[in-house]
Amino acid sequence: MGRLWAARLAGRSVVFLPRPGRRPDHPLSYRFQPFQGEAFTVRIPWLAANETPDLLLVTTKAGDTLPALTAALPQLPETTPVVLFQNGLGSQQQVADTWPERPILAATTTEGANRPEPDLTIHAGTGETHVGALTRRGGEALAEVVAQLQGSGLTVHAETDILARLWRKLVINAGINPFTALLDCPNGDLLRQPMFLQWIGPLCRETATLMAAAGQSTPSPESLRQSIEQVARATAGNTSSMRADVLAGRPTEIDYINGYLTALGQQLGIATPVNQMLTEQVKQLDGSLTNGS
């Protein structure tokens, strides 16, 4: 996702911020295939020691976000807006709680991008991006941040209730990602998998109960299931990010999706056996890959 935004904003003095401990000598270079049109090469310099960006987009995995910003933010002015593009929930609140005095914002997007090769990024599907504030200063910066991101040519909207949008995406991820990772199948195949058919109803009942207790909207379990299955059909041939992580031997973001719902249930005194089961099974899969089995 970071490379998608970099390619689309490349005419607006984009730079990459190195991960902690990295000091690259050369600009980042990769091929970019837009949704329409011919592929082209993108060359993005790394942030120099004497540079201060006007805007920071954070597209790390959820579990990497807090450590990455802990290393990066001391180098940046407190006025620099930070936009978080993470899956799930939990990492956004961690950042906002750690730096409440900074302009922290969160984004949720339905743009699709993938990297079938290390040096090739494909804009696989167009969608919309919604951006909203997580801190007071984030609210003050929202209009300008949205205007800057609209310079990409992508569809970007200001959102007054970004948490509600993050919840809606969390519901979809919780109902698709772990099943595709465990069953090793594309999204659309879930709809005929016995495991999915057995557990999706109970999962939606758990999630609806949690949303009501957390002060979110109170959709029916049936409407949650319809939304999940609609997205699975619409993205039938896609590989979820969690399945892609498993196939690549990377840690998943399960702690910030079904794991977040499990932890929230514990806080609220609500049983979440299905979310807990999915979290534990994906973690076992993570462990088997880590151990090389």
- What is the extent of the structural domain holding 192? 164-290
152 and 190 in a single domain? The answer is no
Q: Which of 123, 130, 169, 225 does the annotation list as catalytic?
A: 169
Q: Where among 137, 160, 183 does a domain terminate?
A: 160
The 8-class DSSP code of residue 31 comes to E
The domain total for the chain is 2
154 and 180 in a single domain? The answer is no
Residue 31's CATH number:
3.40.50.720
Contacts of 244 (CB under 8 A, 6+ apart): 114
Q: Where among 139, 160, 181 does a domain terminate?
A: 160
pLDDT the model gives residue 292:
43
240 and 153 in a single domain? The answer is no
By the 8 A CB rule, do 124 and 4 touch?
no
Alpha-carbon gap, residue 178 to 13, rounded angstroms = 38
Q: Where among 125, 160, 195 does a domain terminate?
A: 160
33 and 133 in a single domain? The answer is yes
Backbone angles phi, psi at 25, to 5 degrees: -95, -20
8 and 27 in a single domain? The answer is yes
Q: Is 169 a catalytic residue?
A: yes
Question: How far from chain centre, in Å, is Cα 196?
Answer: 23
Alpha-carbon gap, residue 8 to 193, rounded angstroms = 38
Contacts of 173 (CB under 8 A, 6+ apart): 87, 88, 240, 242, 257
185 and 146 in a single domain? The answer is no
6 residue type, one letter:
A
Spell out the per-residue pLDDT of the chain, length 293, in tens. Answer: 999 999 999 776 789 887 766 667 788 899 999 999 999 999 999 888 788 899 999 999 999 999 999 999 998 999 999 999 999 999 999 999 999 999 999 999 999 888 889 999 999 889 999 999 999 999 999 999 999 999 999 999 999 999 999 999 999 999 999 999 999 999 999 999 999 999 999 999 999 999 999 999 888 999 999 999 999 999 898 889 999 999 989 999 999 999 999 999 999 999 999 999 999 999 998 765 444 43
- Token pair 């999962």 is found at 203
Plot region of 261 (φ>0 → left; ψ -120 to 50 → alpha; else → beta): alpha
30 and 156 in a single domain? The answer is yes
Alpha-carbon gap, residue 273 to 210, rounded angstroms = 13
3-class DSSP state for residue 16?
Answer: strand
CB-count exposure of residue 237 (10 Å: 0-12, 13-18, 19+): exposed
The pTM for the full model equals 0.92
